[in-house]
C-alpha cells in the first residue's frame, strides 16, 4: 500500500482503544442445528465472534457464494469495537444468515448457449433444440446477453453508434471490457502508450514471459497486491509490478516473509498484532505487503495470498478451461456453464480447476485442519457442492470475485 494514502486515511480513522489493539479471530463451527433451512449463521457483531455452518440436505446447496452480500471476517476490521463510521463494520450492508436452496434454482435466467428444456429458463426466452438462443451476427442488441455465443454487443464507433452482435475480439482488437474479447483473452493495455491514452485491447491471458513489459493502470489505490494480480493477468507468472511511466513488467513472486521470517506454505503469520504484514518479494529487496489474515485460530493467521507455486497452478488450471470454452462471453467464469456442451464438460481438468480455485481464493481460511473440514463440505464453491448429480453444477467463479470484477470493468 502507498504510504501517502495510508497517512491520509489514518487521520480519518477513529482512535483505537487499548482493548481493541490486539486482534482475535472468530471460531468456525459446524454441525449444530441452525434452524430450518439455515446453513450459515454469522455472529452479526464487530468484532466477529463466530461463524457457524450447517450442511444442506441432498440436492441442495448453501447459497452464500456471493461474497459481496454475506458477512465474513477480515483481520484488520476485528480491531474495531465501536465508532461512528459504518464502513468500518464487517456487518454493515451484509447478510448474516444464509439458507439452503434447491440446485434446480440455478437452472433459470440462463445465458445463450446454455442447456435448457423450457423457454422460461433462458434470458432470451427461446430454448431451441435444447439450447438457449439469442440474436445472431450483426443483429441489433442492447447488451451482451442479447447475443449468441461467440458474439458480444459492441457499439459502432461512428454515427449512428448502433450496437450490434459482433464476433468476440482476438489479439489487438480494441475493447471496453473483457466480455468484448474471446474467453482466452482479457481487455487491458498492450503498451505504456495504450495505458497513457486509455486504449484497451484484447490480450491473451497469461502469455507474456518474465521481464516482458506492457501497459499498467492502477485499479485499487489502496491495494498494490490487487493491482499486481490484475495487471499480471497478461503474464505467465500471473504477477506484474509497476516500473513507472504507465509501464508494467512481468515478474514472479520469489518468496513470502512474515513476522516469522521467510515462510514456506501455508505462509503463517501472527494475526494478534494488527501491524504484522506479509511481504511478497519480487526482487531481493523489493516487495508488496498484505495484512495477515484470520485463519479461524485465536492468534495464528495466514498470508491472504499463497506464493508463486500456488498462483501458477491456479492460473494454468483456469486457462485450460477458458481456452476451450465456447460458452457465452458472460459465462466465461461460470463453471456450471463450462460443464455443459459449450465448455469442456465435467472433465478431470474442470474438477481440478474448481478445487484449485477454491484453495487459492480461500487460502487463509482452509489452512487449519478443523476449519477446512468444516468449510469444504458446505461452501458452494467447492467441487463437492458445485458438482451435484454428475454434471449438475450450481455456480462458482474461476478466480476471486473481487479481482475479476476490476479486470472486467
Percentage of residues of the chain with pLDDT beyond 70: 89
* pLDDT value at residue 387: 67
**Cα(131)–Cα(108) distance, integer angstroms:** 13
* pLDDT value at residue 383: 82
Residue 8: pLDDT above 50? Answer: no
Q: Which three cell numbers stand for residue 295?
A: 485463519
* pLDDT value at residue 336: 81
* pLDDT value at residue 329: 97
Which DSSP symbol is given to 275? T
Would you place residue 223 in the very low, low, confident or very high pLDDT band (cuts 50, 70, 90)?
Answer: very high
Residue 4: pLDDT above 80? Answer: no
Per-residue pLDDT of 20-49, as tens digits, reads: 468 899 999 998 899 999 999 999 999 999
* pLDDT value at residue 286: 97
- 262-276 average pLDDT score: 94
Q: Which three cell numbers stand for residue 358?
A: 477454491
- 114-134 average pLDDT score: 95
Per-residue pLDDT of 277-319, as tens digits, reads: 999 999 999 999 999 999 998 779 999 999 999 999 999 999 9
- Is pLDDT larger for residue 1 or for residue 377? 377
* pLDDT value at residue 15: 46
* pLDDT value at residue 31: 83
**Cα(356)–Cα(389) distance, integer angstroms:** 21
- Is pLDDT larger for residue 251 or for residue 24? 251
* pLDDT value at residue 86: 94
Distances (CA, A) of 174 to 166, 168, 188, 287, 348: 13, 11, 9, 33, 35
**Cα(153)–Cα(132) distance, integer angstroms:** 17
Q: Pinpoint the alpha helices (H) of 280-343.
A: 308-323, 335-338
Question: Which residues fall within 8 angstroms of residue 237, CB to CB, at 6 or more apart?
Answer: 210, 250, 251, 252, 253, 308, 311, 312
Beta-bridged to residue 270, according to DSSP, are 300
- Is pLDDT larger for residue 397 or for residue 235? 235
Residue 264: pLDDT above 50? Answer: yes
* pLDDT value at residue 9: 39
Query: How far is Cα of residue 303 from the mean position of the Cα atoms in its chain?
Result: 17
Per-residue pLDDT of 147-167, as tens digits, reads: 999 999 999 888 999 999 999
- Preceding omega of 56 cis (within 30 degrees of 0): no
- Is pLDDT larger for residue 16 or for residue 316? 316
Q: Which of 233, 249, 252 has the alpha carbon at shortest distance from 241? A: 249
- 313-326 average pLDDT score: 95
Classify strands 50-53 and 27-30 as parallel, antiparallel or unpaired: parallel
Beta-bridged to residue 222, according to DSSP, are none
* pLDDT value at residue 118: 93
Domain ranges of the chain: 15-103, 107-167, 254-302, 312-409
> Among 7-16, 109-118, 262-271, 340-349, which stretch is predicted with the lowest mean pLDDT?
7-16
> Among 19-33, 100-114, 201-215, 308-322, which stretch is predicted with the lowest mean pLDDT?
19-33
Residue 243: pLDDT above 60? Answer: yes
Q: Average pLDDT over the chain, rounded to whole?
A: 88
Q: Which three cell numbers stand for residue 239?
A: 504477477
Per-residue pLDDT of 55-96, as tens digits, reads: 998 889 999 988 889 999 999 999 999 999 999 999 999 999
Calculate helix-pair angle for 308-323, 348-361, nearest 10 degrees: 140
Cβ–Cβ under 8 Å, residues 142 and 130: no
3-class secondary structure, 406: helix
Q: Which three cell numbers stand for residue 350?
A: 474442470
Per-residue pLDDT of 398-409, as tens digits, reads: 444 334 434 454
Amino acid at each position: 500500500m502507498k504510504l501517502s494514502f495510508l497517512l491520509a486515511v489514518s487521520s480519518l480513522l477513529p482512535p483505537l482503544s487499548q482493548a481493541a489493539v490486539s486482534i482475535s479471530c472468530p471460531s468456525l463451527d459446524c454441525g449444530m442445528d441452525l434452524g430450518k433451512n439455515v446453513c450459515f449463521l454469522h455472529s452479526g457483531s464487530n468484532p466477529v465472534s463466530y461463524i457457524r455452518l450447517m450442511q444442506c440436505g441432498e440436492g441442495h446447496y448453501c447459497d452464500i457464494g456471493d461474497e459481496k452480500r454475506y458477512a465474513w471476517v477480515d483481520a484488520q476490521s476485528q480491531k474495531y469495537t465501536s465508532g461512528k463510521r459504518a464502513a468500518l463494520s464487517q456487518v454493515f450492508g451484509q447478510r448474516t444468515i444464509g439458507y439452503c436452496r434447491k440446485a434446480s434454482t440455478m437452472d433459470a435466467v440462463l445465458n445463450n448457449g446454455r442447456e435448457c428444456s423450457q423457454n422460461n429458463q433462458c434470458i432470451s426466452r427461446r430454448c431451441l433444440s435444447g439450447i438457449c438462443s439469442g440474436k445472431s451476427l450483426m443483429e441489433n442488441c442492447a447488451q451482451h446477453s442479447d447475443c449468441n455465443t461467440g458474439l458480444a454487443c459492441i457499439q459502432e464507433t461512428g454515427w449512428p453508434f448502433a450496437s450490434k452482435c459482433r464476433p468476440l475480439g482476438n489479439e489487438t482488437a480494441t475493447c471496453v471490457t473483457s466480455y468484448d474479447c474471446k474467453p482466452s483473452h482479457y481487455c487491458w493495455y498492450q503498451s505504456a502508450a495504450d495505458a497513457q491514452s486509455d486504449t484497451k485491447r484484447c490480450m491473451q491471458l497469461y502469455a507474456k514471459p518474465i521481464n516482458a513489459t506492457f501497459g499498467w493502470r492502477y485499479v485499487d489505490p489502496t491495494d498494490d497486491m490487487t493491482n499486481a494480480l490484475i495487471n499480471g493477468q497478461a503474464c505467465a507468472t500471473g504477477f506484474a509490478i509497476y516500473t513507472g511511466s504507465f509501464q508494467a513488467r512481468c515478474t514472479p513472486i520469489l518468496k513470502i516473509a512474515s513476522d516469522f521470517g521467510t515462510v514456506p506454505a501455508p505462509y503463517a503469520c501472527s494475526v494478534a498484532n494488527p501491524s504484522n504484514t506479509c511481504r511478497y518479494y519480487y526482487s531481493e529487496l523489493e516487495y508488496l505487503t498484505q495484512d495477515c489474515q484470520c485463519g479461524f485460530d485465536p492468534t495464528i493467521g495466514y498470508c491472504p495470498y499463497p506464493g508463486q507455486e500456488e498462483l501458477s497452478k491456479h492460473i494454468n488450471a483456469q486457462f485450460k478451461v477458458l481456452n476451450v470454452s465456447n460458452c457465452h462471453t458472460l459465462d466465461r467464469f461460470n463453471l456450471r456453464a463450462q460443464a455443459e456442451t459449450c465448455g469442456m464438460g465435467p472433465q478431470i481438468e474442470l474438477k481440478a480447476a474448481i478445487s484449485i480455485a477454491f484453495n487459492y481464493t480461500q487460502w487463509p481460511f482452509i489452512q487449519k485442519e478443523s476449519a477446512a473440514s468444516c468449510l469444504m463440505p458446505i461452501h458452494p464453491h467447492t467441487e463437492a457442492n458445485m458438482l451435484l448429480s454428475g454434471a449438475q453444477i450450481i455456480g462458482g467463479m474461476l478466480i476471486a470475485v473481487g479481482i475479476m470484477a476490476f479486470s472486467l470493468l
